[in-house]
Amino acid sequence: MIEDIKKDAEESMRNAVAALEQAFKKIRTGRAHPSILDGVLVDYYGAETPLNQVANISVEDGRTLSIVPWEPSMVPAVEKAIMKSDLGLNPSTAGNNIRVAMPMLTEETRKEFVRQARHEAENGRISVRNARRDANSMIKDLLRDKEITEDDARSGEDQIQKLTDKYIAEVDAHLEVKEADLLKV
């Protein structure tokens, strides 16, 4: 029983770290990377479709993305979707090729992005702690119902705490890497 609770808690904590990684992809650095556009949805014949499913996205140089829609008629829709996204990017079109230049990050925008990254990391830590709280609550319920002994409960809570410490450290490591990436000029 405790093993099942531990597995569920670990899966929840792993999902929290994965969600943090996705959130960090949306915080842009000064370099061009196709994952920056992962959250952009294009109106593709009435259906909201991810940009990477209607166009080829590649890095032209260190600061420019090149987007070539599979269908030339999609160029205006792709351009509109990029401008509508909250990424602060301005696409420019040349024929069927859409170029997105990454603006230089000022010191102020870097600090704002670091602040945003810290906020996302704190949300990740909160998710990990919530998974710990839920697991400990289930263990206490088992103890109250006399399905496990006090020693088993204490041991289970210790195991859950070790998992929590591991995943909190993982969140902190991801934050450290993202901060270094944002502050690098």
Q: Which pLDDT belongs to residue 65? A: 86
Same domain, 80 and 123: no
Query: Long-range contact list for 55-60, CB < 8 A, 24+ apart?
Result: 55/98, 58/34, 59/32, 59/33, 59/34, 60/32, 60/99
Q: Which two tokens stand for residue 2?
A: 């405790």
pLDDT at 163 over 90: yes
**Contact between residue 32 and residue 60 where contact means Cβ atoms under 8 Å apart:** yes
Where residue 159 falls among pLDDT bands split at 50, 70, 90? very high
Where residue 103 falls among pLDDT bands split at 50, 70, 90? confident
- pLDDT, tens digit, for every residue of 14-40? 999 999 998 888 776 667 777 778 778
Residue 117's domain spans which residues?
A: 2-26+106-183
| Cα distance between residue 179 and residue 158, in whole Å | 31
Q: Which pLDDT belongs to residue 164? A: 95
Q: Which pLDDT belongs to residue 120? A: 92
* CA 60 to each of CA 77, 89, 125: distance values in angstroms, whole numbers, following the listed order: 21, 16, 36
Same domain, 134 and 161: yes
Q: Which of 58, 77, 101 is the last residue of a domain?
A: 101
Q: Which of 76, 101, 126 is the last residue of a domain?
A: 101
- pLDDT, tens digit, for every residue of 40-85? 888 888 888 888 888 888 888 878 888 899 888 888 888 888 888 8
Average pLDDT, rounded, for the chain: 87
Same domain, 132 and 69: no
Report the domain count for the chain.
2
Q: Which pLDDT belongs to residue 133? A: 95
Q: Which of 53, 76, 101 is the last residue of a domain?
A: 101
Same domain, 56 and 125: no
Higher confidence at residue 108 or residue 11? Answer: 11
Q: Which pLDDT belongs to residue 167? A: 95
Q: Which pLDDT belongs to residue 106? A: 81
Could you give the percent of the chain with pLDDT greater than 90? 35
Q: Which pLDDT belongs to residue 166? A: 94
Q: Report the CATH number that the domain containing residue 161 is assigned in CATH.
A: 1.10.132.20
Q: Which pLDDT belongs to residue 185? A: 64
